[in-house]
Amino acid sequence: MHSTHPSQQSAGDSPRSLLPTGERRARLRRWRAIKDKISKYGISFAGISVVLAFATIFVYLFSEVGPLFSSASVEQKASYQSPAAQPLHSSIERYGEVGLTITSDAQLQFFNAETGELKQQVQLALPAGVTVTAFGKADPRTGTIILGLSNGQALIAKHEYLLSYPNDKREVNPKVRFPLGEAPVQVDAQGQALVAIAIQEKDENRMLSAYTADGRLVLSNMVAETVFLTGETTVVRTDYTLPDAPASATKILIDNTFQNLFVSDKTGQIHYYAINNPQEARLVQSVNAVSSGSQITAMEFLVGTVSLVVGSSKGELSQWFLVRDQHNNFDLKQIRDFEQHPGAITQIESEYSRKGFMAIDDQGHLGIHYGTSARTLFLEAFDDSLIAKQIALSPINTNFLLLDDKGQMHKFELENAHPDVSYKALWNEVWYEGRDEARYIWQASAGSDEFEAKMSMVPLAIGTLKAAFFAMLFATPLAIMSAIYVAYFMTPVLRGKVKPTIEIMAALPTVILGFLAGLWLAPFIEEYLSAVFAILFLMPFMMLAAAYLWRYMPESIRNRFGLGWEAAFLVPVIILFGYLAISASPMIDNTFFDGSLRQWFTDNGINYDQRNALIVGIAMGFAVIPNIFSIAEDAIFNVPRHLTQGSLALGATPWQTMVGVVLPTASPGVFAAVMVGFGRAVGETMIVLMATGNSPVVNFNIFEGMRTLSANIAVELPETAVGSTHFRVLFLAALVLFVFTFVFNTLAEVIRQRLRQRFSNL
């Protein structure tokens, strides 16, 4: 059947003849169904992809963060007969290839840590008929050990390990040095047996202390002096006897500053001596370090010799260090406890580069603990046949040796990558070494192994909220009020110029805003701080006064502006008042604040940093205003006209209509605008990086800076080792930021939907 194009139909044809044929309609329906399916599955795929993207981010962040909270694990690798059945001390070098035992007859035995094969023996010069009565060691990183003898002398040696690579294979070669000579050093001039002994070494200087059999506490300071011309080194020695010696002594420790000495006794007390001036050394404090009815069975320094770890006969473990009181005096205080062992603590072995330690008890339990995080990462007994008597931890915490009660030496592999992180360390106040109280501190790294990493997330979280709060405090009123005026009161011509101008501000790079804020705005506000406050508090009154005067302007002048152009009258008022305030700032400072408002703040206990939250609020406010303004203005402008016209027809003024009809109707959009702005402020990086000083402080002082989660990640992530604790904690910061924005935006969407339902019937 022949069909004619509709344009060729004659005027007498019926309208039905202009419709497509049945075949064409079927073809169009099929094509429409195909497009509907494409749209349906395309939109569904896009939505599922977004959800999967979010889920993938979560999974990736969790995979990086998860190892932080894992426990320690140990795995036995070798077992063999120990070269010495009951050594005084054992150690293992960093590569886990060579072990060392020190015997009671003053012999150093180096052996293969994998097989137990003896590699080298060094006999110290032990005098005939003299026995070893005490053992001590300096900071384990020095390798210096001391043996106290029954005749009041001591043997001092230093074990080291040299590397060679014959046939491109690493070989560890032990070496023993005698820094004060191979002959015994006379510690006690009276020749009494040394019951307990300690040594500490720093550079070429050494300090020795010993407790004699007749109850005296002696101290020797040995300073190495080198003659410049000849290069000869002599040791200048000074001996002292400390006052108020305890009735007994089980352990003596000297810190590496040569200022503090600690002695534990059989009654469970620690005696603290100040020896910074040995001639006037004094007993400062005696404190009970264990619970009633128990004794101190082990005591060691953590790395850095600031903290003491004390073990008791009841299996208690506690950390102590010196704290400065309000009178600037030091007191030895208990800082934290660790999980109690089932048996009496027999040995404490500290890590070489972290604030962790291992402990064993007489019931055969091995515990792995960490000071800063107060974590117990491992506490188990291996089996009934293995009772640990001695442990030796490698300097890099990857393996350790364990000597059992049968003289068998066992080598274990240790996995303990992130012991310094716990919920308490991240989110609670932590009492760090050298501080007078527990605090929230972020200071993740330093150039020393003795440094105690401080990884509290609280300063970063507070800094993030602080930056966002002051940015929103500045941006929200300006953006919303501007949106109200532009959308409802401004003429279409002026709106067509103002709105694109404000929206194009969003394209301004934030690095430029941060650069200007840090290098120009911050010094300017510091210099004219009183003018800023004058503008902040007096500008609204000047605008109201200008609006009041506008009513009394000649009608000819008002008509020249036209309806909706009244705001242009405020521009010269704002510029003029701002100029007058800045010009009057020096006079205000001299009249009311003794020449400087900033110094006046400081004198009254208010810290003022040049780069502070006020600078961030202004700079980030300019970055956030376009987002809030654009969305809010669209929401207000698109309120149905019949609502406003109906309100005006009933006698309401334009302002009453705006407050009672337009704003409630547009409230979901306005609320969404604020939430978008807040999300933008929370995630901002470059402005807070360049305009805050990046100080991780815990306060909401507008005149101090802050450090935010995003800026901290940007600054520190490029400098961290991949897989390190610091690296993973930064990913935890990213996870916290991601979860925070996700939860906050979800709640905001719920509130927006409820507002939409509530006002949808207007």
pLDDT tens, position by position, 49-61: 999 998 999 999 9
Q: Which residues of 8-43 are buried (b: 16+ CB within 10 A; e: fewer)?
A: eeeeeeeeeeeeeeeeeeeeeeeeeeeeeeeeeeee
Q: What is the pLDDT of residue 1?
A: 42
Three-class secondary structure of residue 590 per DSSP: helix
Query: Whole-number mean pLDDT of the chain?
Result: 90
What is the residue type of 70?
A: S
Would you call 283 exposed, middle or buried from its count of C-beta atoms within 10 A (0-12, 13-18, 19+)? middle
φ, ψ for residue 207 (rounded to 5)?
-125, 130
Greater model confidence, 100 or 327: 100
Averaged pLDDT, 156-172:
92
Q: Alpha-carbon distance 491 to 562, whole Å?
A: 9
Asked whether the beta carbons of 719 and 651 are under 8 A apart, the reply is: no
pLDDT of 728 above 60: yes
Name the residue among 129, 143, 136 with its Cα closest to residue 98: 143
Asked whether the beta carbons of 655 and 735 are under 8 A apart, the reply is: no
Q: Alpha-carbon distance 443 to 412, whole Å?
A: 33
Cβ-Cβ contacts under 8 Å for 130 (sequence gap 6 or more): 149, 150, 151, 153
Greater model confidence, 691 or 224: 691
The CATH number of the structural domain formed by 458-759 is 1.10.3720.10
Q: What is the pLDDT of residue 7?
A: 47
In the chain, domain spans: 458-759
Q: Count Cα atoms within 13 angstroms, Cβ side, for 203.
A: 8
φ, ψ for residue 90 (rounded to 5)?
-135, 155
Q: Alpha-carbon distance 250 to 134, whole Å?
A: 10
Averaged pLDDT, 650-671:
90
Cβ-Cβ contacts under 8 Å for 232 (sequence gap 6 or more): 226
Report the DSSP beta bridge partners of residue 201. 206
Angle subtended at Cα 388 by Cα 385 and Cα 393, rounded to the nearest 5 degrees: 135
Residue whose tokens read 């027999």? 346
Q: What is the pLDDT of residue 245?
A: 93
Averaged pLDDT, 367-376:
94
Euclidean distance between the first and final Cα of the chain, in Å? 56
φ, ψ for residue 91 (rounded to 5)?
-155, 170
Q: What is the pLDDT of residues 198-251, one digit of tens each?
A: 999 988 889 999 999 999 999 999 887 777 677 676 788 899 999 999 999 999
DSSP 625-654: HHHHHHHHHHHHHTS-HHHHHHHHHTT--H
Averaged pLDDT, 36-65:
92
φ, ψ for residue 386 (rounded to 5)?
-120, 100
pLDDT of 670 above 60: yes
pLDDT of 9 above 60: no
Three-class secondary structure of residue 348 per DSSP: strand
| Six token digits for residue 419 | 């012991």
Give the model's confidence band at 15: pLDDT under 50 very low, under 70 low, under 90 confident, else very high. low
Helix axes 570-592, 529-550, angle to 10 degrees: 140
pLDDT of 6 above 50: no
Three-class secondary structure of residue 355 per DSSP: coil
φ, ψ for residue 372 (rounded to 5)?
-60, -45
pLDDT of 497 above 60: yes
Q: How many residues does the chain have?
A: 762
pLDDT of 272 above 90: yes
Asked whether the beta carbons of 249 and 265 are under 8 A apart, the reply is: yes
What whole-number percentage of the chain has pLDDT above 90? 66
What is the residue type of 725?
A: T
Give the range among 75-89, 250-264, 544-558, 715-729 with minimum mean pLDDT: 544-558
pLDDT of 761 above 90: no
Q: What is the pLDDT of residues 575-615, one digit of tens each?
A: 999 999 999 999 998 988 888 888 999 888 889 999 999 99
Q: What is the pLDDT of residue 762?
A: 58
Q: Alpha-carbon distance 576 to 586, whole Å?
A: 17
Alpha carbon of 758 to those of 633, 662, 665: distances in Å?
A: 20, 14, 9
What is the residue type of 78?
A: A
Q: What is the pLDDT of residue 303?
A: 94
pLDDT of 310 above 70: yes
Q: Alpha-carbon distance 40 to 611, whole Å?
A: 52
pLDDT of 98 above 90: yes
Which alpha helices (H) appear in 519-662, and where do they start and end? 522-527, 529-550, 555-561, 570-592, 597-603, 613-637, 641-649, 654-657
φ, ψ for residue 483 (rounded to 5)?
-65, -40
Angle subtended at Cα 208 by Cα 203 and Cα 213, rounded to the nearest 5 degrees: 170
